[in-house]
């Protein structure tokens, strides 16, 4: 038991200490700037998650272009985090940057649509399939609103989610499985409502548990990612999605597919690539090339049910929408991104690069005899410091090795590659170069050489 995921603990501690020191020593400017300015923020960061990066203090980014960041100490870093998918198509894609410059002279927000909005609507249908769309600013909001519609049209209270899921800071989905029961996640800040009244949680890939939950008759919707991407990476087993679709129809629940991360799967997302047929469809983050935008849509059938509901409800607050949503800047970027950035050619490049990356990481893992594995979903690659495949959130939770992963992340960064915090996710953008991928594989090899 002096081993963590096959790594000797003493060896891990010395790597972690060495890499943390190296990161800090190399960044005097960053350190001085943070000392001078960070105190204005709660916990010294403008968004508290930024403390969850593994290095001793955050990098201060000077600029980002393509798939590369430059920090204020002058380090050029290959970016495989890409804003945890917000910049999956690269930083400031040229068509989106042009659209921003153009729209910047024409007003930023006016709570009225534009012609670009109409064009973006047609593009959304072409890319994702025909839905009745709405625009939100974050995927969190898009999921919240989709859930409201599902509850409205079914008249049922609960959402069914999978253990280990993440759909943004949607209160109702912040649940976990504990001794076979649904309870609120223990880290939630200021939680008052009993979430087991509004949510039920079961394990991913467990259709019989899904059926037991649905049979109670109080589930409005199943909300799921096609692949669990926020809890290591857990792939659906053969027949799982068909089963979800069949069961949700049988028991009168709606199926909400959240493609916010699995948009990495290919053009139109996992749903398009694998012919899923959700009742409600959500995608955010990179859909407008990095401009804060999310889209959510419902089938004509759900739209008809919602129209009936909407006509009967008392007028006034709906609980959906936010003031800055569906603004002209979002539409300018959405249109540019859908038409000119999210192309078959872009996805072909991403897929090819991600395959090169996952094959390379696999080779390194094998060469060092590490009991680890690699999973890929289109442009999204993750190494997991445990044997695989993982079947569900519980297995993913025990596969997660925070201390080991943090040391590897900092060591990768010191060798010029940034990967996503929280877990070991890497994205390949349409502008990621082969040599950036090879550098990451070589750095990974160097680190595993020290660890094993
Ligand atoms: N859905 C999924 C699947 C996500 O991974 C995330 C964020 N990681 C969200 C929704 C929420 O996105 P946002 O933080 O932009 O609201």
DSSP string, 224-287: E-SSB-SSS-BPPPTTHHHHHHHHHHHTT-EEEEE-TTGGGGSTTHHHHHTT---SEEEE-GGG
d(CA 93, CA 140): 24
Percent of the chain with pLDDT over 70: 100
Cβ contact 248:255 at 8 Å: yes
CA of 417 to the centre of ligand 1 (A): 23
What ligand 1 atom has the least distance to the C-alpha of 259? 3
pLDDT for 299 equals 98
What ligand 1 atom has the least distance to the C-alpha of 262? 3
Structure tokens at 386: 């445990």
What ligand 1 atom has the least distance to the C-alpha of 86? 15
Is residue 227 lining ligand 1, measured as CB closer than 6 Å?
no
Show the domains of the chain with their CATH numbers: 3-79+343-451 (3.90.1150.10), 94-341 (3.40.640.10)
DSSP 418-429: E--SSS-EEE--
pLDDT for 273 equals 98
Axis-axis angle for helices 139-154, 300-312 (nearest 10): 70
* C-alpha angle 444-450-452 in degrees, rounded to nearest 5: 95
DSSP 167-227: -SS-GGG-EEEETTEEEE-TT-TT--S-GGGTEEEE-TT-HHHHHHHHHTS-EEEEEE-SS
316 φ, ψ (degrees, to nearest 5)? 120, -165
Is residue 15 lining ligand 1, measured as CB closer than 6 Å?
no
Give pLDDT tens digits for 69-124.
999 999 999 999 999 999 999 999 999 999 999 999 999 999 999 999 999 999 99
CA of 139 to the centre of ligand 1 (A): 5
Structure tokens at 412: 């990768």
Q: Give the DSSP H or E segment for 380.
A: strand 380-384
Structure tokens at 172: 């109702």
Residue 139 has pLDDT above 70, yes or no: yes
| For range 361-372, the mean pLDDT | 98
Best of 285, 292, 293, 427 to mutate for ligand 1, by most ligand atoms within 8 A of CB? 285
Handedness of CA 254, 260, 262, 266 (dihedral sign): positive
Residue 243 has pLDDT above 70, yes or no: yes
Cβ contact 258:282 at 8 Å: yes
Residue 209 to residues 52, 169, 231: CA-CA distances in angstroms? 33, 25, 19
Is residue 168 lining ligand 1, measured as CB closer than 6 Å?
yes
**Tally of CB atoms within 10 A around 93:** 25
Cβ contact 393:202 at 8 Å: no
**Whole-number CA gyration radius for the chain:** 22
Is residue 226 lining ligand 1, measured as CB closer than 6 Å?
no
337 φ, ψ (degrees, to nearest 5)? -70, -45
**65: which strand partners?**
68
Q: pLDDT confidence of 246, banded at 50, 70, 90?
A: very high
Best of 167, 169, 204 to mutate for ligand 1, by most ligand atoms within 8 A of CB? 167
Is residue 230 lining ligand 1, measured as CB closer than 6 Å?
yes
pLDDT for 422 equals 86
Is residue 139 lining ligand 1, measured as CB closer than 6 Å?
yes
Residue of higher predicted confidence among 1 and 376:
376
Residue 235 to residues 91, 296, 326, 450: CA-CA distances in angstroms? 28, 23, 33, 30
pLDDT for 184 equals 98
34 φ, ψ (degrees, to nearest 5)? -65, -40
Nearest-CA residue for ligand 1 atom 8 is 168
What ligand 1 atom has the least distance to the C-alpha of 143? 10
Cβ contact 24:57 at 8 Å: yes
d(CA 259, CA 246): 20
Nearest-CA residue for ligand 1 atom 12 is 139
Give pLDDT tens digits for 151-165.
999 999 999 999 999
pLDDT for 334 equals 98
**Tally of CB atoms within 10 A around 326:** 24
368 φ, ψ (degrees, to nearest 5)? -95, 0
Nearest-CA residue for ligand 1 atom 1 is 167
CA of 29 to the centre of ligand 1 (A): 32
pLDDT for 1 equals 66
């Amino acid at each position: 038991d002096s081993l963590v995921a096959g790594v000797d603990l003493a060896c891990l501690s010395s790597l972690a200490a060495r890499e943390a020191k190296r990161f800090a020593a190399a960044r005097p400017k960053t350190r001085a700037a943070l000392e001078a300015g960070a105190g204005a923020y709660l916990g010294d960061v403008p968004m508290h998650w930024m403390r969850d990066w593994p290095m001793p203090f955050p990098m201060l980014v000077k600029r980002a272009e393509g798939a590369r960041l430059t920090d204020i100490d002058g380090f050029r870093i290959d970016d495989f985090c890409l804003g945890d998918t917000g910049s999956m198509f690269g930083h400031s894609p040229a068509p989106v940057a042009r659209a921003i410059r153009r729209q910047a002279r024409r007003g930023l927000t006016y709570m009225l649509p534009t012609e670009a909005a109409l064009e973006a609507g047609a593009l959304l249908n072409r890319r994702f399939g025909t839905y009745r769309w709405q625009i939100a600013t974050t995927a969190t909001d898009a999921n919240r609103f989709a859930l409201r519609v599902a509850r409205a049209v079914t008249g049922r209270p609960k959402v069914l989610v999978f253990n280990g899921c993440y759909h943004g800071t949607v209160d109702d989905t912040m649940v976990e499985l504990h001794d076979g029961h649904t309870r609120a996640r223990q880290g939630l800040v200021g939680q008052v409502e009993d979430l087991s009244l509004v949510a039920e949680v079961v394990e991913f890939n467990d259709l019989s548990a899904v059926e037991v939950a649905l049979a109670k008759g109080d589930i409005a919707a199943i909300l799921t990612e096609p692949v669990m991407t926020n809890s290591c990476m857990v792939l659906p087993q053969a027949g799982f999605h068909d089963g979800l679709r069949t069961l949700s129809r049988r028991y009168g629940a709606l199926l909400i597919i959240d493609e916010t991360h699995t948009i990495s799967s290919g053009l139109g997302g996992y749903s398009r690539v694998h012919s899923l047929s959700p009742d409600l469809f959500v995608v955010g983050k990179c859909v407008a090339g990095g401009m804060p935008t999310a889209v959510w849509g419902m089938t004509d059938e759900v739209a008809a049910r919602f129209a009936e509901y909407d006509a009967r409800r008392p007028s006034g607050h709906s609980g959906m929408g936010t003031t800055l949503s569906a603004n002209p800047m979002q539409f300018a970027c959405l249109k540019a991104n859908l038409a000119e950035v999210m192309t078959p050619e872009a996805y072909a490049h991403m897929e090819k690069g991600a395959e090169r990356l996952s094959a390379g990481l696999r080779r390194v893992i094998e060469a060092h005899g590490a009991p680890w594995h690699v999973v890929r979903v289109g442009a999204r690659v993750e190494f997991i410091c445990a044997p695989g495949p993982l079947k569900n959130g519980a297995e993913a939770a025990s596969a997660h090795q925070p201390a080991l992963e943090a040391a590897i992340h900092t060591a990768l960064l010191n060798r010029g590659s940034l990967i996503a915090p929280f877990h070991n996710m890497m994205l390949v953008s349409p502008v990621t170069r082969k040599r950036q991928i090879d550098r990451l594989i070589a750095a990974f090899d160097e680190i595993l050489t020290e660890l094993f």
